C-alpha cells in the first residue's frame, strides 16, 4: 500500500529538504518499504532513509549510508558549525512526536557522523489509518523530512538563487550580504525547523494561512531576528531563538525600516494598538 504513495512521498520530501529525491520499493521485509536518497548521488553513495510500516499502527524511518558513501561522508564532515547545529536541531525536533535512536549511543544534542556505520532510527506509534494520504504526508513531515533535511544541510545543498539582473552586476559589499540573507531565509531547512518549533502562525498578526487557505496556505515565511548583515563574523545560530515565522505582509513590513528592520515586537505593538 505504501508503494502507491510514492508520488506523494517524493513531493513532500523534496519540498521539505530542498533536494531532488529518488525512491524505490524495498520488498525485503514483511511489509513493503520505500527507500529514499538524493537524486544526484547513486544510492550506494548516498545517505538512504528507509520508511517502513511496522506492527499495525507504526512507521519506522531508518537512516543508513550506502556501501560506497565514503566520499559523501567526508563531504558531510566538512560541514560548518552552523550547518551541524541546524542538522542536529532538525533531528532533535523528531523527538516531540516520535522515538529517536542514534547509533553508537550518541545523543540528539551532539551526534557526529564518523563513518558509514552511523544510523538514525525514528519510530512513530499510534497512527490511525496510516496509509491514508494525510497520514503518509504527516509521517513524512515528522520522520523522513527532518532526517533527510539534516543530511542535506550537512552535505551542502543550497536553495536555487535567482539570477542577478544585469543592471545589478556591480554590487556593493552590503548588497552581497543582502543576497546572503535572502539565501538563508529561503533555505527550506531553516523554514522547516522554524515551523516545527514555532508553528505556521505569524508571530505579529497571528494569521494562520493554512486555516484560511487550506492546501494553498503554505505561505508563511521565515525571518531572522538579527539580520545576517549585522552579525559581523559568521556564527552558529539557534532557529528556536533567532528565527520566527511571519506572514508575507508582516515580513515585508518589518523590512520597510532600513538599515535595521523593525522587530516583530515593535510591529505587534502597533498592530495591537492600531
Give the predicted TM-score (pTM) of the model. Answer: 0.78
Mean pLDDT of 65-92: 93
pLDDT 10s digits, 46-60:
999 999 999 889 999
Which three-class secondary structure string do you get for 61-124? EEEEECCCCHHHHHHHHCCCHHHHHHHHHHHHHHHHCCEEEECCCECCCCCCCCCCCCCEEEEE
Contacts of 156 (CB under 8 A, 6+ apart): 75, 79, 83
Number of H helices and number of E strands within the chain?
Answer: 11, 8
pLDDT 10s digits, 174-191:
444 444 444 455 577 888
**Cα-to-chain-centroid distance, residue 211:** 22
The pLDDT confidence band at residue 6, using thresholds 50, 70 and 90, is very high
| C-beta separation of 194 from 204 below 8 A | no
Is the Cα dihedral 6, 4, 60, 118 positive or negative? negative
pLDDT 10s digits, 220-262:
988 888 765 555 555 556 777 888 999 999 999 998 888 788 9
pLDDT at residue 46, as a whole number: 97
pLDDT at residue 170, as a whole number: 37
Amino acid at each position: 500500500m505504501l508503494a502507491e504513495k510514492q508520488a506523494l512521498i517524493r513531493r513532500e520530501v523534496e519540498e521539505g529538504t530542498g533536494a531532488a529525491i529518488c525512491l524505490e520499493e524495498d520488498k525485503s521485509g514483511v511489509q513493503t518499504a520505500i527507500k529514499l536518497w538524493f537524486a544526484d548521488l547513486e544510492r550506494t553513495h548516498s545517505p538512504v532513509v528507509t520508511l517502513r510500516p511496522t506492527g499495525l499502527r507504526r512507521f519506522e524511518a531508518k537512516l543508513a549510508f550506502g556501501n560506497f558513501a565514503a566520499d559523501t561522508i567526508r563531504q558531510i564532515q566538512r560541514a560548518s558549525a552552523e550547518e551541524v547545529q541546524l542538522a542536529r536541531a532538525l533531528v532533535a525536533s523528531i523527538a516531540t512526536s516520535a522515538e529517536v535512536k542514534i547509533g553508537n549511543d550518541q545523543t540528539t544534542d551532539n551526534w557526529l557522523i564518523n563513518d558509514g556505520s552511523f544510523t538514525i532510527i525514528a519510530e512513530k506509534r499510534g497512527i490511525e489509518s496510516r496509509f491514508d494520504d494525510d497520514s503518509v504526508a504527516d509521517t513524512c513531515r515528522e520522520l523522513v523530512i527532518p532526517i533527510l533535511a539534516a543530511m542535506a544541510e550537512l552535505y551542502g545543498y543550497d536553495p536555487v538563487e535567482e539570477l542577478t539582473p544585469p543592471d545589478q552586476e556591480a554590487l556593493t559589499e552590503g548588497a552581497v550580504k543582502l543576497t546572503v540573507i535572502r539565501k538563508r531565509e529561503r533555505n527550506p531547512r531553516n523554514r522547516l525547523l522554524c515551523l516545527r518549533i514555532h508553528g505556521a502562525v505569524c508571530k505579529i498578526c497571528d494569521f494562520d494561512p493554512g486555516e484560511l487557505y487550506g492546501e494553498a496556505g503554505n505561505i508563511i515565511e521565515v525571518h531572522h531576528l538579527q539580520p545576517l548583515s549585522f552579525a559581523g563574523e559568521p556564527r552558529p545560530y539557534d532557529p528556536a531563538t533567532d528565527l520566527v515565522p511571519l506572514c508575507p505582509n508582516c515580513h515585508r513590513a518589518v523590512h520597510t525600516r532600513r538599515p535595521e528592520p523593525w522587530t516583530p515586537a515593535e510591529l505587534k505593538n502597533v498592530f495591537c494598538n492600531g
